[in-house]
Amino acid sequence: MNRQRLTSWWFAGTLLVALLFMLVPLPAVLEPFKPYWPALVLLYWALESEGRVSLGLAFLLGLGIDLFDGVLLGEQALRLCALVFIVLRFRSRLRFFTMGQQMLAVLALLLNDRILLLLVRLLSGAPMPPASWWFAPFTGAALWPFLFLLLDDLRMRLRLQ
């Protein structure tokens, strides 16, 4: 029981840190390369911990993140919902992928997320973003193995589920 509660705290903690990482400003040169941290962490938990991440949780989390960093209320809720849905749908297959294949899958997911965001922004009347806007999914995919291994290692060490 205690271990389960610890796991929940650890889960919430990683998401909170991901949110902080998203809010921390980077130098202007690095800004376009900033990955979408909450999506990456949520992806990890959706893959590794069965039944913990659901569509409802993704929606609520997205609304929460919108409070901090959002142009429209519901924007990130939409993005995270779509992301989590795809991951849960293909979860069993994604888990058997090699790291390289997983990176490609993550890249596809993040690119899909950017396209969704682009649609939302364009519909709300924002101008077309510059080409550097498309860099972020690639850094996200490149960071995926490290994030995955780090979180997995920490989880094993803490013997959490």
Partner 1 sequence: MARTRDESSPLFAGNAAGTLRLIVYLALAVVLMVLDHRNGWLWRVRSVASVVVEPMYRLADLPGAGIRTLSVAFADRKLLTEQNQRLREDLLLANARLNRMASVAEQNLHLKELLDTRRSLGLKVQLARVVGVDLGAWQQRLVLNLGARDGVKPGQPVIDAHGVMGQVIDVLPTTSVVMLVTDPVHAIPVVVERSGLRTVAYGARDGSGLVLPNIPLSADVRPGDRLLTSGLGGRFPPGFPVGKVTAVTTDSTGMFRVARVRPAADIDRSEDVLLLHDQAEPDGPPAPAVPAGPPAALAPAPGASVAPAAAASAAIARTPPARPAASASLPSAAPAAAGSTR
Tell me which H or E stretch contains 95: helix 91-95
Of the pair 23, 153, the CB lying nearest partner 1 is at 23
Of the pair 86, 147, the CB lying nearest partner 1 is at 86
**Least distance from C-beta 161 to partner 1, angstroms?**
9
Residues that bind partner 1 (CB under 8 A): 19-20, 22-26, 28, 31-32, 34, 50-51, 54-56, 58-59, 62-63, 66-75, 77-78, 81-82, 85, 88-89, 91-93, 120, 124-127, 129-130, 133, 136
Of the pair 61, 147, the CB lying nearest partner 1 is at 61
Nearest to 40 by CA among 119, 118, 149: 149
Residues in the chain: 161
Instruction: Measure the CA–CA gap between 85 and 68, rounded to whole angstroms.
Output: 23
Q: Say how many C-beta atoms besides its own lie within 10 A of residue 127's C-beta.
A: 7
